[in-house]
Amino acid sequence: MYIKVGDIVAVIAGKDRFFIDKDGIKKNKIGKVLKIFFKEQKVLVEGVNIITKHQKPLNKEDKGGILKQEVPIHISNVALIDPDKKIPTRVGFRIESNKKIRYSKKTGNVLDNFESK
């Protein structure tokens, strides 16, 4: 899978694709990947695809209410953000020093950091 938990992604398709910034320019929504659902091929992105859920009170002390929560979107609707250029990019894989690494197809920059491994 070309996206990992903690990656910064841009939404490239769907109802939450664009937002209008303070200058009136359309921009892609971006967010951090919180969780990946491998079987469904979906990702949970922070601040994207938010729904309102009406919660009933479960017992007398509990209050019900209207909750807002994120819902997963399909993995094909997001693109990884290149950390240097801050643009959506496709991801490629190559072998360097017997390790499979991810790289940006637009710039050729390596996307994996080896310090955390």
For 10-58, how does the pLDDT look when each residue is reduced to its tens digit (9 = 90+)? 999 988 888 888 888 888 889 999 999 999 999 999 999 999 999 998 8
**pLDDT at residue 117, as a whole number:** 41
Q: How far apart are CA 34 and CA 25, in angstroms?
A: 27
Give the pLDDT band of residue 113 (cuts 50, 70, 90): low
Three-class secondary structure of residue 105 per DSSP: coil
**pLDDT at residue 115, as a whole number:** 45
Neighbours of 81 (CB within 10 A): 20
Q: Say what the pTM is.
A: 0.80
Q: Which residues contact 22 (CB under 8 A, 6 or more apart)?
A: none
pLDDT over 80 at 116, yes or no: no
Q: pLDDT tens, 87-101?
A: 899 999 999 888 888
**HSE-up (13 A, CA, CB side) for residue 106:** 12
**HSE-up (13 A, CA, CB side) for residue 34:** 13
Q: pLDDT tens, 53-73?
A: 999 988 888 888 999 999 999
